[in-house]
A and B are shown apart, each in its own frame.
Chain A
């Protein structure tokens, strides 16, 4: 993408002073400032935005994190915390006059308590590593963002990450019990506890999804759940997307909360099928994947009901996975949707709005009309169960006119999401990318409240400034995510 690459000249004197202050207690090798050493940190998963940080610091314990923050606080240096750097909204984009605080070395699973079913981990631990460590005991960590092989649990806290199973099992905020957090002043606070609630305000919930603006998480206690005895997925194919959308409502109306419910339109299945051979019927206008998990008896009962609802809703194909291999294959297609779509076009542009489920058919029709209006193709994949849309606009960034049309197309989709009662971001976060869209979704009174809360935790605005919450005079147009096939930071990662 030819989006802005910021180049702020480094204030060498300031850089020297900050490095010296940090090296007073940090090993020399853990404080980086040479251009070639800090360049790998210039962007996160949203590679369109790049900025080389002034200094990178790599603590390997909590005390160092506190000392670093205290130092930055006393010198008034802004700090951007970073986990695995897989975020999609530029939340970990560094500052040219700031410290990039990498938590990658804090990667210990401190303890797994099998009796109370919890794991105590450091923020740099990968999401999937928790489930892998718990697996021998029949337990797992439920939130499963598609990037879970690489993304860190600390980053999940910052973004309140979801996953395909979150309608039934909740988001990150529903699956954590306790946080240890370093404040900008370098003090440790403990939020939550050993029980299911805590004394005082629910700062655990406030910090979750706060995109690194209120504190730096140094330790997390997550809930572990027993692995379901059984899981099966139903694939249903429809002649019209509107009918598929109605089938989603019919499942919920029947009193079923599926473990996952994903919708893909024909452009998406056409892209995926040659790539993965998942067995999707490519002649259908849309397919729905609906999963049930639980005890054998629960799954048997629920799958029979789901199959009947799909048939009654007008599906012309209803197929249920017979074994684990088939179930994983059906999901593999869904998980590969983004890389597969990426092969159809030099660039694609991903939106992350959430809408009320009942508006799905209407929003899809509107997006189809926009495809004609802007003369661009769009593939749609949805977390249908929770109304989270990921329209992918296909374009070529080298064609200035296409780029302009894509931006207008994206802006119109996001505006539509707000107009139908939804939100600009369901799971990718605001970061730097959607900062301007915040002014469309929120009025000035709400934004002032956000600023007041920020001030309560960070009075000098040193933690990740410029992200997530715009200042009042920074209100322009919708934000969006750009992915260039050649520039995507982690092209191998399954997404969304």
Chain B
């Protein structure tokens, strides 16, 4: 056990003994995300560094405090990438924060989410016990899939120490086309194209323009671009980075920014405020002053959920409320891994 891990374990044990709550933080790039964090700061950024990376195994293992930028640069040098295209929001995002928040970028519907790429995890639970689950192999069905359970749990089930992720090769060729399209037309096209064997790796509709990224073998990308039509844009890498990291002007403003995740075929939502559509229609960003109940009711038709992502209004729970029967199971699972309730309590849900 390294010194930094020992320190984290000691802190957790001491806190658990007196039920003092801890606010876990890596690079702080997602401080804005989730319900307000309380408790003593537990800085886990010192636990960093890539532990093992072998491109032919398609697996990278790193400590949780490792900056995403370092991981991505290392992988890029070997012709690989993180397939889920994680956002760093322009900050010093770390691997641990990326997995804890469970957020994925534009490639998500076409390649999978962060949880899909997690192969194994090492964490300290709420007692300070050092636990490892999963591993570094692609297929592993021994034991419950705790690695994927912890992904997206906002630090409430344990302090992530190390993560093994599946790697993907960088596509040899990539281009983005743009077409003028209304939102409703864009939703229809995104769904139609997703049902065809086309090498699409990202879609976005904003300001009456539909952007589609194609990636793969150069001739396949060219052929697909001809099929879809539209103009090729010249600044594609910057465009998708700005969408991913929310640097695009759309994301600025004063109204709360909502993230609506729903059935991709759901009709354009009748809510006040500008909308940006991603993920083939399955993700809608809305800048909207309407009250939370109105927004949350709007996702019902798409069997989805609504998160108040930025500029959260006081008194509004950030994440979509859970039905009581599910809430009961959440409390019990939290109790199983963090019996003293000291790890990021309230960050995901007011109850746990």
Binding site for B on A (CB under 8 A): 113-117, 137-139, 159-160, 162, 166-167, 170-171, 173-174, 178, 183, 187-190, 193-203, 205-206, 208-210, 214, 226-229, 249-250, 252-253, 255-257, 294-298, 300-302, 354-358, 383, 385-388, 421-430, 434, 437-438, 441-442, 445-446, 449-450, 452-457, 468-469
CA distance A171 to B119 in the complex (A): 12
On chain A, the residues within 8 Å of B80 by CB distance are 255
On chain A, the residues within 8 Å of B197 by CB distance are 226-229, 294-295
Q: Nearest 5 pairs between A and B by C-beta?
A: A194-B303, A194-B263, A255-B169, A205-B148, A452-B336
Q: Which residue of A lies closest to B134 (CB)?
A: A423
Q: Mark contacts of B188-230 with chain A using CB atoms, 8 A cut-off: 1 yes-contact digit, 0 otherwise.
A: 0001001111110000000000000000111110111000000
Q: Does B79 contact A (CB under 8 A)?
A: yes
Stretch of B8-16, B136-144, B177-185, B249-257 that contacts chain A: B136-144
Q: Mark contacts of B323-334 with chain A using CB atoms, 8 A cut-off: 1 yes-contact digit, 0 otherwise.
A: 101100110110
On chain B, the residues within 8 Å of A196 by CB distance are 108-109, 113, 261, 279, 282-283
Known: A138-B196, A206-B149. 14 other contacts (CB 8 A): A117-B191, A190-B323, A194-B266, A195-B264, A200-B326, A200-B348, A201-B149, A202-B102, A205-B148, A256-B169, A296-B223, A298-B220, A388-B139, A449-B125
B329 and A457: CB pair below 8 A?
yes
Of B56, B79, B138, the contact of A249 (CB 8 Å cutoff)? B56
Q: Does B7 contact A (CB under 8 A)?
A: no
On chain A, the residues within 8 Å of B262 by CB distance are 193-195
Q: Does B116 contact A (CB under 8 A)?
A: yes
CA distance A388 to B142 in the complex (A): 13
Q: Does B288 contact A (CB under 8 A)?
A: no
CA distance A70 to B132 in the complex (A): 35
A257 and B137: CB pair below 8 A?
no
On chain B, the residues within 8 Å of A203 by CB distance are 149, 326, 329
A446 and B261: CB pair below 8 A?
no
Given A227-B197, A229-B197, A423-B135 in contact, is the A456-B329 Cβ separation under 8 Å?
Answer: yes
CA distance A430 to B142 in the complex (A): 6
Q: Does B53 contact A (CB under 8 A)?
A: no
B305 and A300: CB pair below 8 A?
no
Given A173-B148, A189-B326, A298-B220 in contact, is the A421-B135 Cβ separation under 8 Å?
Answer: yes
Given A174-B116, A196-B279, A358-B54 in contact, is the A455-B142 Cβ separation under 8 Å?
Answer: no
B141 and A425: CB pair below 8 A?
yes
Q: Does B302 contact A (CB under 8 A)?
A: yes
On chain A, the residues within 8 Å of B265 by CB distance are 113, 115-116
A201 and B152: CB pair below 8 A?
yes
Given A256-B169, A421-B135, A442-B143 in contact, is the A297-B79 Cβ separation under 8 Å?
Answer: no
B326 and A354: CB pair below 8 A?
no
Q: Which residue of B lies closest to A359 (CB)?
A: B57
Question: How distant is A353 from chain B, measured CB to nearest CB, in Å?
Answer: 9
Given A117-B195, A295-B223, A456-B336 in contact, is the A170-B112 Cβ separation under 8 Å?
Answer: yes
CA distance A455 to B262 in the complex (A): 32
Q: Give 26 CB contacts A-B under 8 Å.
A: A173-B145, A174-B112, A190-B323, A195-B264, A195-B305, A203-B149, A205-B149, A206-B149, A228-B197, A249-B56, A255-B79, A294-B220, A295-B197, A295-B199, A297-B223, A300-B219, A301-B217, A383-B139, A385-B138, A421-B136, A422-B137, A425-B141, A445-B130, A446-B131, A452-B337, A456-B336
CA distance A457 to B199 in the complex (A): 41
On chain A, the residues within 8 Å of B36 by CB distance are none
Of A178, A297, A301, the contact of B303 (CB 8 Å cutoff)? A178
CA distance A424 to B135 in the complex (A): 11
A449 and B336: CB pair below 8 A?
yes
On chain A, the residues within 8 Å of B326 by CB distance are 189-190, 200, 203
On chain A, the residues within 8 Å of B283 by CB distance are 195-196
Q: Does B28 contact A (CB under 8 A)?
A: no
B191 and A193: CB pair below 8 A?
no
Q: Mark contacts of B152-163 with chain A using CB atoms, 8 A cut-off: 1 yes-contact digit, 0 otherwise.
A: 110001000000
On chain B, the residues within 8 Å of A170 by CB distance are 112, 116
A354 and B152: CB pair below 8 A?
no
Question: How distant is B158 from chain A, measured CB to nearest CB, in Å?
Answer: 9
Binding site for A on B (CB under 8 A): 54-59, 79-80, 102, 108-109, 112-113, 115-116, 125, 129-133, 135-146, 148-149, 151-153, 157, 168-170, 172, 191, 194-199, 216-220, 222-224, 261-266, 279, 282-283, 302-305, 307, 319-323, 325-326, 329-330, 332-333, 335-337, 348-349
Q: Which residue of A lies closest to B198 (CB)?
A: A295
A199 and B329: CB pair below 8 A?
no
On chain B, the residues within 8 Å of A445 by CB distance are 129-131
Of B130, B140, B307, the contact of A423 (CB 8 Å cutoff)? B140
Of B57, B219, B223, the contact of A357 (CB 8 Å cutoff)? B57
On chain B, the residues within 8 Å of A455 by CB distance are 332, 336
CA distance A189 to B218 in the complex (A): 46
Question: How distant is A455 from chain B, measured CB to nearest CB, in Å?
Answer: 7
CA distance A139 to B108 in the complex (A): 20
Question: How distant is A391 from chain B, measured CB to nearest CB, in Å?
Answer: 16
Question: How distant is A169 from chain B, measured CB to nearest CB, in Å?
Answer: 10
B196 and A226: CB pair below 8 A?
yes
Given A189-B326, A255-B79 in contact, is the A426-B198 Cβ separation under 8 Å?
Answer: no
A202 and B148: CB pair below 8 A?
yes
Q: Which residue of B lies closest to A230 (CB)?
A: B197
Q: Which residue of B lies closest to A385 (CB)?
A: B138
On chain B, the residues within 8 Å of A171 by CB distance are 139
B223 and A252: CB pair below 8 A?
no
On chain B, the residues within 8 Å of A226 by CB distance are 194-198
Question: How distant is B35 from chain A, measured CB to nearest CB, in Å?
Answer: 12
Question: How distant is A444 from chain B, measured CB to nearest CB, in Å?
Answer: 10
CA distance A206 to B305 in the complex (A): 20
A438 and B142: CB pair below 8 A?
yes
Question: How distant is A465 from chain B, measured CB to nearest CB, in Å?
Answer: 15
A441 and B149: CB pair below 8 A?
no
A429 and B141: CB pair below 8 A?
yes
Q: Which residue of A lies closest to B348 (CB)?
A: A200
B144 and A456: CB pair below 8 A?
no
A199 and B319: CB pair below 8 A?
yes
A356 and B102: CB pair below 8 A?
no
Q: Which residue of A lies closest to B59 (CB)?
A: A356
A425 and B142: CB pair below 8 A?
yes
On chain B, the residues within 8 Å of A257 by CB distance are 58, 168-169
On chain B, the residues within 8 Å of A468 by CB distance are 143
Given A173-B148, A209-B141, A355-B137 in contact, is the A449-B337 Cβ separation under 8 Å?
Answer: yes
CA distance A343 to B53 in the complex (A): 42
B336 and A197: CB pair below 8 A?
no
Of B116, B140, B144, B303, the contact of A354 (CB 8 Å cutoff)? B140
Question: How distant is A33 from chain B, measured CB to nearest CB, in Å?
Answer: 32
B320 and A114: CB pair below 8 A?
no
Of B138, B151, B152, B349, the contact of A167 (CB 8 Å cutoff)? B138
Most chain B CB atoms below 10 A, which of A116, A302, A358, A429:
A116
CA distance A251 to B63 in the complex (A): 28
Question: How distant is B63 from chain A, measured CB to nearest CB, in Å?
Answer: 18
